[in-house]
Structure 1
Amino acid sequence: MHLPAIPRSVKIGDAAAFTGTTPRAIRHYHAIGLLPEPERGADNRRRYGYDDMVRLLWIRKMADAGIPLDDIRTAFADADGIEDSLARLEESLAAKAATIEGQQAAIHRLRETGSPLGLLSPLVADRLRHLPPGALRSSDLDALLVFERIVGPLGAAIAANRFLALAARPGLRAEEDRLAQAEAALDDTVSPDDPRIDVLAAQRSTHESALYSAIKEECLEEALDTLLEEHAETGDEEEDRAESAEEEEGEPAMSTMEAIGKMPYDFSPARIRYEERLAELMHSTDQSDDIPSQAG
């Protein structure tokens, strides 16, 4: 058996083909100091020997594993450097895996519920998943989305009590719709001194009191406590809180007050005066801590 001719060195094209990379990549490795410049032949072209090829193979393997080129260079210079690089890479991959898992869960909930409700956190979605079709308005979902962003999944789950109560009490739902329509009519054509503002604020305050009573009568707070216990057993509640506290990629976490200050509402001066008057009335009845604000 005759072996094929074994070269003592090869050109860059052959080196790239053997190691599964490209000549352009190899030139880049030279440029950044990852791979030493090899000797050149009589034709002034690079020639790569056994050691060069071994190093290229290691570079390719580590790059395929996701190790950044700068870390690979450090690893060659310091035997302990590769351990640090691998530890950082493992942490990064774990974070990416958790993100992918969360995305898969969101898609599953979306397909399961057949509505945008599935894109809210599991705690909020579970709170409302048994409502009949049409009971949850698109504006209700919008409000829950804002609540979740501002106060997190737990706060949004508490706010969901109002929508459960509205679904259970058609009379309250009708009054809610009437008030929402009247509030929307407080546009720039209405003076902040219009006496109808005080009347409407009083009606909203009375409605919120009735809604809070309905939440109590329907035992919705107790039902939420039960759901929280179930989520605590599976770790979902802890995960939801962690997600709400984490900084999103490239975006710093916000406090509740910062989030409120960044959420715009197209409120006229009359509507702002109405919200202020409503807050005064709600505070006077000592229910501001228990009834979610209607702003927005």
Structure 2
Amino acid sequence: MHSSFMPPRQVKIGDAAAFAGTTPRAIRHYHEIGLLPEPERGGDDRRRYGYEDMIRLLWIRRMADAGIALDDIRDAFTTSTDSGDGVAGILERLEEALSEQEAELRRQRTALQRMRAEGSRMGLLSDFVTARLKSLPEGSLRQADLDSLLVTEWILGPLGAAVQATRFIVLATHPALREESDRIDAAEEALDDSVAVDDPRVAQVAAERHAFESALNAVIEESGLDEDDDALFDAWDRLTADDEEVRTMSAVEAISKMPYDFSPARLRCAELVLELSAT
């Protein structure tokens, strides 16, 4: 063989990087983290890479391209260089991770499709909640209604929001009740920081709120929606029989972290409504 065709016994870092399709900087990083052993150095104190170095570099490149983290590649080589058991274990864990990612992508795609199909904020609620609202005419729910359901579902879960949806079903189908609800909401909002907690208006609004809630509950009972609520609990039990819901915090903790801009007078009004309900 002509000498010009003789392959080199060792190459410099630039040639090694070019051959493996990487960069000298990446190779130096492999050395720093112990992924690639330091090679011999020539008389110019520069690294020289031989056949075994290039083989390992190619394996590193292939495994990195497959999505394996550099630390895992290093552990794989450390565990078993000859038998390949370390690499096999890493590949098995990578496959499991990819399966989980695929499942998460499917979940995200399903959620996105629901949002597009339901439209606006309705699509942000779970199927369990939106199923409760399917019978309502389009546009009969207000944005504030959906916002309230979103907060309730986040704090109490889908069952709590589905039960709360009963309230908005009645308001959406009974204009007189909706009008009265708007009036009392406005009266409560007027109890701002300029109103003292012992102002007579506080007790008056509390009495009006109590009367309204009693009227609302009466309509719910007359329409049979309270029986639907009972069915919701049964449906939820069946739905979650084999599925434990994982919550990052309790409902009490969540409520304590949700800001509400209520004045002392308005808070006192809410307390009076509870007292009236108790009696």
TM over 0.5: yes
Partner of 1:263: 258
Q: Quick check: 1:186 aligned with 2:197?
A: no
1:124 and 1:160 in contact (8 A); partners too: yes
Unaligned runs of 5+ in 2: none
Q: 1:217 to 1:94 in 2, by over 3 A?
A: farther
In structure 2, distance between residues paired with 1:21 and 1:6: 21
Partner of 2:12: 11
Matched position secondary structure for 2:56: helix
State the Cα distance separating 1:34 from its structure 2 match. 0.7
In structure 2, distance between residues paired with 1:54 and 1:216: 77
Matched position secondary structure for 2:194: coil
Of 101, 104, 114, which aligns to 2:109? 104
User: Counterparts in 2 of 1:209-228, with a 5 A limit?
Assistant: 209-223=214-228
Q: Can you list the C-alpha shifts for 1:213-245, whole angstroms capped at 9, x where unaligned?
A: 333333335556767888888x6x679963xx2
Percent identity (aligned) = 58
2:155 and 2:255 in contact (8 A); partners too: yes
1:153 and 1:240 in contact (8 A); partners too: no
State the Cα distance separating 1:207 from its structure 2 match. 1.8
TM norm structure 2: 0.85
In structure 1, distance between residues paired with 2:230 and 2:92: 40
Q: Which has the higher contact order (CA 8 A, sep 6+)?
A: 1
- Greater CA radius of gyration, 1 or 2? 2
Q: 1:270 to 1:170 in 2, by over 3 A?
A: same
1:71 and 1:81 in contact (8 A); partners too: no
| Structure 1 runs (4+) greater than 6 angstroms displaced | 225-233, 238-241
State the Cα distance separating 1:208 from its structure 2 match. 1.7
State the Cα distance separating 1:262 from its structure 2 match. 0.7
Q: 1:103 to 1:38 in 2, by over 3 A?
A: same
In structure 2, distance between residues paired with 1:11 and 1:238: 64
Unaligned runs of 5+ in 1: 247-252, 285-296
Structure 1 vs Structure 2 CA RMSD:
2.9
Q: Quick check: 1:161 aligned with 2:166?
A: yes
User: Counterparts in 2 of 1:90-239, with a 5 A limit?
Assistant: 90-223=95-228
Name the count of aligned residue pairs: 274
TM norm structure 1: 0.81
Q: 1:214 to 1:100 in 2, by over 3 A?
A: farther
In structure 2, distance between residues paired with 1:40 and 1:177: 82
Q: Quick check: 1:27 aligned with 2:22?
A: no
In structure 2, distance between residues paired with 1:91 and 1:228: 36
Q: Quick check: 1:254 aligned with 2:249?
A: yes
- The one-letter code matched in structure 2 to 1:145 is L
Q: Can you list the C-alpha shifts for 1:99-130, whole angstroms capped at 9, x where unaligned?
A: 33332222212211221211122222332244
